[in-house]
Structure 1
Amino acid sequence: MNTPLYDFLSDYNDKNTLRLHMPGHKGKGTDKLSGFPWGMDITEIKGADSLFEADGIIAQSEKNASEIFGTVKTCYSAGGSTLCIQTMLALMKQENRNIIAVRNVHRSFLTSCALLGIDPVWIYPEYTSGILSGEIPMDRLEKALKETANPCVYITSPDYLGKTADVKAISEMCRKYGAVLLVDNAHGAHTVFTGNHPAALGADMCCDSAHKMLPALTGAAYLHIGNKKYADKAKAAMALFGSTSPSYLIMASLDLCNKYMHERMKDDIERLIPAIEKLKRKLKKKYSVYDGEPFHLTLLCNGLKLAEKLREKNIECEYADSSCIVLLFSVCNTPEDVARTGKALMECSPEPPLGFQFTGFPEMEKAMTVREAALSDYETIDIEKSAGRICAMVNVPCPPAVPVAVSGEVINENCIKIYKNYGIFNINVIK
């Protein structure tokens, strides 16, 4: 019998490709992680503790993480930020909170809403590059807070292209109206050392996908709790969704990641950021460089064409579409990687963005709740035939996993243009 998955991974690893995509370990990892053995893949044997009832070695390791991030409590997730998002929203459901969410959420937020019976109040960002990125309009957010009883605000920062929100100002606004602030910081675990991590800026809870930006295995994430009222409830909420057999390899990679952050990460960041900033200044002579946090290099051009040119130079991007490309550095990259990227990009000629140029998102008509639509029988049809139909279970690829229409909303012509622009030609609709 052949082994197509293993063969692909082996071939890719052998090519020594410059990986400007997740996971953050870039195929290298920390010194110990690079040689992770099968023999360490265990279950909850005596002395090994238990993730959702941790009071031994896992609890000790989580405490180390909490000290690094300056939180009331930090919990490990072996189910990525998805499990952390489910947990945060479950805690809000327990308090009967009404969720105000900025629209460029990840698909995992919507699936969590479907599971928990949550219907968000949407805030549409002032989009700056398609549906993936934009500024959060503070006036609209405040209006929603005034009009929403028992509110909770949910934002994504950094967003998929690297733009960060003013978490401190949003946090202060939330306090004014008695709201809880949740932050999807999946792309920002490293910001603990750049001074703008949500846990330090007033978020009640936030999640980090350690595997995205740090030397940790895929599926490794942190749930950070800044508000002590949720500290004793988080594990029970997490157990509603998490596997009863969380990977000890993933948890051990978080443990090693703590050690790396404590001993070396600050130095690596101080070494890398100047090289990346220098590269961005150089590229501005030839490219439109999107403004975002330092480790995201987002270029506004025909990303699909540029991605192919970079593959010819053995460089793989994180994401590309007809209007942008995302090249994702992490602490495991080196200044030599940055220089190699710059050389390759300067040898390429960017082409202008193609297709439908997204300028805004009209408010969508809602026909069903998120839960009703996501759990209804559906059919998959050609996007061209979807006008007037109700969106069922959301089907957007990851990356970027940012939805166009939300479950329960009525598809319109503008939606169809956006779907096609992102290469999505089939959609799930209610039968």
Structure 2
Amino acid sequence: MRVTPIDSEKKKKRFEMKTALIILPLIIILFILLITDLLLIRSRRKIVNEQIRIYANYQIADQLNKHLFFGTIWGTIIDQDGGEVKHFSKTTEHLLKNYDIKGIESISLAQANHVVYTHSLNSAYPVKRDIFTDADLQGYVIRSKFTGLQSVSHMSRIEGTDQYRMYVLTPVYVNGDFGKREFWGVTLIAMRIPEILEGIALDKMSTDIDFKLSGAVEGSEEHQAFIETKQEEFRSPEVYYFQVPNGTWKLEGEWKGGWITRTEMIQQALAFLFVGAGVVILLSINSRRAMLAKISMQDELTGINNRYSLRIHFPEYVGTKKDIFVLFVDVDRFKEVNDTFGHEAGDQALQAVAEKLSEFFGAKNCYRYGGDEFLVVQKSDNGEKLKEKLASFRTELDLTDRNGRGIHITLSAGCCVGKAENGDALRRLMKEADEKLYEAKHNGKNQIDM
């Protein structure tokens, strides 16, 4: 019988340990990847949020203000010319060019309830709303006249298109009699949303961010998109609402390809697989090394420590303050057992002795020293008590071989206890124990000489 058979429970525990050693690093890697992704998403969201705020509050607002300001320019010119309009079309073209304004479709000057001048910029979708017949526009005129404030209409869809237009009415005042400011009329400017925002080129603002700009439109309860840099729906965008003269606009931003791109997911999956494979390989190598180390230090027949392992463990017994207990054990007439019952029975006898020693002294303290000779080396707080315990050690064993024949074997042993201040001291203890073994065999065998 082997001394250290690996029963099913030990196998199960060992398997569970190996599985845990593989799974735990993989869980740690997954956790690190998850934390990295969360930090990356957080960082990208912060970048996108800051970008859309800047674009909304500066680029988009500046473009709108520049177009709205154009309505006041003609009012200033008319006021300076004493209420006269000179070279309307030529001056308009000059102003549009100087101010780099591209979103205006038409400019009209209305005085005394009729349109005096109109300049159209060859729009493919001509302005059909009349300032004096359209109730909404007329309302803006009245508001601007009595408040002196600029009025901006809601966006309206251009018929037959997905484009949007808005109107800006600016009151014009001139000096009248006695320097009194008098209402002259209004400037009416029709603007197309895409052209107004063309100057900011949302699709070129960032190579990493997709944008969508939307706002309230007449006849719709939901915001309608004016500009989109991608066709797919945004899944989880950063959103920023900001005020414009005619209501609230919404600018959305999302990292191109998603907050974690497909390429990054593939890279992470490959990294996980490679690292996981590396962990498995390293654990397998370490497991094999541990197994080889164990095999190199374990006696193949009996399962206890071999003589090589004694060399490895030797420093553990040296320099300790504890007593060192040394016991040499030899099987009496072992050659007769082999000759009478066969070598298989001899092996069985050696296994039985190793098991008996392991049960009595602990397997970690037992060594097969060579042939039928065994060695026990044990640290003890009180070596003399261990010697007293040794008195109860039976030196006789009865076995039954595979053929049912009874085998009676006896043991001879030599024991020595002392301090091992250094390696030489330990070797002397072992030599003395070996000499005691020789005396036990010489004095009739089947005994322990202490």
State the TM bucket, normalised to the shorter chain. under 0.3
Return the TM-score normalized by structure 2: 0.18
More relative contact order, 1 or 2 (CA 8 Å, 6+ apart): 1
Structure 1 or 2: more helix by fraction: 2
Structure 1 or 2: more strand by fraction: 2
